[in-house]
Amino acid sequence: MENTYIVYAKRTPMGKINGVLSPVRVDDLMSYLFADVKNWANFDLKEVDDVMVGCANQAGEDNRNLARMSLLLAGFPTEVPGTTINRLCGSSLDAVIGASGRISMGLADCIVVGGAESMTRAPYALSKAERAHGRGQKLYDTTLGWRFPNPRMKKMFPLFAMGETAEEVADLYKIGRVEQDEFAYNSHQKALKSDFKKEILAVEIETRKEKIIVDTDECPRADSTMEKLGSLRAVFRDGGSVTAGNSSPMNDGASCVVVVSESFLKKHNLTPMLRLTGAGIRGVHPNTMGLGPIFATRNLCERFEKKVSDFDIVELNEAFAAQSLACLRELELDPSIVNIKGGAIALGHPLGCSGTRILTTLAYSMMENKNLKQGLATMCIGVGQGIALSVENCN
């Protein structure tokens, strides 16, 4: 079995919904990173065995295999194939795990893995009439949440919005409003104090009037205070504790890593960033989907004979403060090693992009500190799943 390595990791800035990246199609956004890979590579791109992209929506400009569209737009050789993965929020991290598995089995040596989402440009979807001249067509905003749900599933359990699942977790773990707001405030403060220049690929956007360069995340708020966070109303339930301020925002963004075998690494004299050392994916009840990282991480640790205490640094995707706090509690994680540069509440959560985004941030955080030897990237997934990936610092 071949060892597998991350040798490249970059991301675009994370844009607000309807923000600075809103004019950019998602296939273009992904292609900018692939074009950067093309410029970076010291090998013939025909040696790329596959391109795998995580994307959660796939209802609009990201339809019909985003990976293939984006690699062609970037100028990759037509011989390079591409496939698009959908495990909702965990899509691109799942793509990394799949790439690593294929390389370990000897089915590939070099796979480019991306994640991309434009929540701004997610379209509306209209159902067809079930019969000629029929009525009752339904219109869904595909940006987030359920669409065209199966009536049989509605009978199995309530089809909660994502924020309602966070309320369930907050109630289950007795996590109060102040604790959630403090977590959100700290996420912004950590992000504002961090330098992301090495991991961000600047994006050039052409408007009607001018060309602008976007090189900074749009969501971290320098004006965030506990008072402002405390003034926000609960969004999902009367008397609830989950607000827009202690939830991740909706975003646009893309991220990319290159996964290679040890033999490919040596053949092309590439510099490894991280070695991939384990993975876990588990399901949980859909109405407490935010607990997924607990069970995915435990699954990883059991399968690969690790302990949670082995990890020196953790990137936990902050879908909501409530579920993040529950995961910290259950996994007995030291908060000081989790999301040291801030998390999705501050930086944003462009769904399919987020897995490779947190992995990219983890890679640069570990490269900056040789004492951070073992790392974990983990996240919850809509409809009740969790995913986790462990890595080792190569520097």
| Segment 329-371, tens digit of pLDDT | 999 999 999 999 999 999 999 999 999 999 999 999 999 999 9
Whole-angstrom distance, CA of residue 356 vs CA of residue 114? 7
pLDDT at position 316 is: 99
Nearest to 66 by CA among 86, 47, 45: 86
Whole-angstrom distance, CA of residue 336 vs CA of residue 314? 10
User: Based on the number of CB atoms within 10 Å of its own CB, is 275 exposed (0-12), middle (13-18) or buried (19 or more)?
Assistant: middle
Residue 83 maps to a domain: yes
Residue 259 maps to a domain: yes
Residue 206 maps to a domain: no
| Segment 282-332, tens digit of pLDDT | 999 999 999 999 999 999 999 999 999 999 999 999 999 999 999 999 999
pLDDT at position 133 is: 78
pLDDT at position 339 is: 99
Give the chain's length.
395
Active site residues: 89, 349, 380
With a pLDDT cut of 70, the percent of the chain lying above it is: 100
Task: Specify the residue for token string 């974990």.
Answer: 376
Residue 332 maps to a domain: yes
Between 132 and 355, where is the model more confident?
A: 355
Q: What domain range includes position 78? A: 4-121+249-393
Residue 20 maps to a domain: yes
Whole-angstrom distance, CA of residue 219 vs CA of residue 357? 15
What average pLDDT does the segment 206-225 reach?
A: 94
Residue 210 maps to a domain: no
Which CATH number is 101's domain given? 3.40.47.10
Residue 346 maps to a domain: yes
Residue 360 maps to a domain: yes
Angle at which helices 321-331 and 292-303 cross, to 10°: 30
Judge whether residue 239 has pLDDT over 90.
yes
- The predicted model scores a pTM of 0.97
What average pLDDT does the segment 370-380 reach?
A: 98
Tokens linked to 217: 């995340």
Count CB neighbours of 81 within 10 A.
15
Structurally, the chain folds into a number of domains equal to 1
Count CB neighbours of 134 within 10 A.
9
